[in-house]
């Protein structure tokens, strides 16, 4: 049987990818950020997942305002890195896991989550930057990756509660896949940031740290927080944090915190990061 052993949450700032790709990771501005992921790289090298189910949002790279799936699952064999403002990143092609992805699509849809099935999709910084933070700069990504895109760009995004429940359904789906696979679920985006308008540059460390606390200890309470609170307190792009609840829902009610990191600034964004282990796995 496949099983979910852990969850990883991290911000996905595109400038982090550009810093790595352009050899700036050792610069004074970036070094403290990358230092916070050294333990994470060691952790995932020891964990050796077979598959990462990576929950992220597309930033108008694969989708546009012409087509806005609330939840989309990538069932393809592979996914090409997409243009991200700095141009497509020089990172390896992302290899999918079509058998597990189709199983997830079937299980989730029959479990009443109306997933959009995507057989061709480019993947942007929302997906590739978390892989770079966790794996560095390998010639090939060391495991398969199933992209699960959530709309948090065009109002209305799914509620926190819907995201938590999707995570719970993902767990049921993974655990009904007969092959022995070790799956780690990633939730990406956030933390507080606002990229446009009079409040551009907003950071709220108090909100972010309370979110980290509650995601671990009180996921149901965090899932009840309405969109407006995220946007008011964490900025217009802070709403990306609802995707962390998908990851959290896929884990045990009580989790082990293997790593926690918070750092400001990275571009316009407060970077948050958690590694949560499933005691039952």
Q: Which residues are catalytic?
A: 125, 193
Among residues 7, 14, 219, 272, the one that binds ligand DHB under rule CB under 6 A: 14
The answer to whether the CB of 195 falls within 8 A of the CB of 268 is yes
To ligand DHB, the closest distance from the beta carbon of 268 in angstroms equals 4
According to the binding rule CB under 6 A, does residue 152 interact with ligand DHB? Answer: no
Continuous segment of H or E residues that includes residue 6: strand 3-10
According to the binding rule CB under 6 A, does residue 13 interact with ligand DHB? Answer: yes
Separation CA 186–CA 43 (nearest Å): 14
To ligand DHB, the closest distance from the beta carbon of 148 in angstroms equals 17
Among residues 12, 89, 103, 144, the one that binds ligand DHB under rule CB under 6 A: 12
Residues 6 or more apart from 164 whose CB is under 8 A from it? 219, 220, 223, 245, 246, 248, 249
Q: Which is nearer to ligand DHB, 49 or 187 (CB)?
A: 187
Separation CA 126–CA 30 (nearest Å): 19
Question: Taking phi first (over 0 means left), then psi (-120 to 50 degrees means alpha), and beta for anything else, what does residue 57 get?
Answer: beta
The answer to whether the CB of 156 falls within 8 A of the CB of 221 is no
| Cα dihedral: 219, 100, 240, 155 (round 10) | -110
Give the residue from 194, 192, 181, 208 showing the smallest Cα distance to 274.
208
Separation CA 280–CA 5 (nearest Å): 8
Restricting to residues 251-270, name those near ligand DHB by CB under 6 A. 267-269
Determine the interface stretch with ligand DHB among 12-20, 73-81, 97-105, 211-219 (rule: CB under 6 A).
12-20
Among residues 193, 248, 263, 273, the one that binds ligand DHB under rule CB under 6 A: 193
By rule CB under 6 A, what string of x and - marks binding of each residue 79-118 to ligand DHB? ----------------------------------------
Q: Which is nearer to ligand DHB, 15 or 72 (CB)?
A: 15
By rule CB under 6 A, what string of x and - marks binding of each residue 207-246 to ligand DHB? ------------------------------x---------
Applying CB under 6 A, which residues contact ligand DHB? 12-15, 59, 189, 193, 195, 237, 267-269
């Amino acid at each position: 049987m496949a099983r979910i052993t852990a969850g990883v949450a991290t911000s996905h700032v595109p400038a982090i990818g550009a810093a790595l790709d352009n050899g700036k990771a050792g610069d004074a501005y970036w070094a403290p950020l990358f230092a916070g992921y050294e333990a994470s790289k060691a952790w995932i090298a020891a964990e050796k997942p077979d598959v990462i189910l990576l929950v992220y949002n597309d930033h108008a790279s694969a989708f546009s305002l012409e087509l806005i799936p609330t939840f989309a699952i990538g069932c393809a064999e592979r996914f090409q890195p997409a243009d991200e403002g700095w141009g497509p990143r020089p990172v390896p092609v992302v290899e999918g896991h079509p058998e597990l992805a189709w199983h997830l699509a079937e299980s989730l849809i029959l479990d009443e989550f109306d997933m959009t099935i995507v057989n061709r999709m480019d993947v942007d910084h929302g997906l590739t930057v978390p892989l770079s933070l966790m794996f560095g700069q390998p010639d090939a990504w060391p495991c398969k990756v199933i992209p699960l895109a959530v709309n948090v760009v065009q109002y209305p995004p799914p509620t926190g509660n819907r995201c938590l429940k999707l995570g719970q359904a993902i767990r049921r789906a993974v655990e009904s896949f007969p092959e022995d696979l070790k799956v780690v679920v990633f939730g990406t985006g956030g933390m507080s940031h606002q990229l446009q308008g009079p409040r551009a540059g907003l950071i709220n460390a108090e909100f972010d740290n309370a979110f980290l606390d509650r995601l671990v200890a009180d996921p149901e309470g965090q899932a009840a927080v309405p969109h407006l609170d995220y946007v008011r307190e964490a900025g217009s792009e802070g709403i990306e944090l609802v995707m962390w609840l998908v990851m959290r829902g896929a884990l045990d009610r009580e989790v082990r915190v293997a790593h926690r990191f918070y750092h400001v600034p990275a571009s316009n964004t407060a970077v948050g990061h958690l590694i949560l282990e499933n005691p039952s796995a």
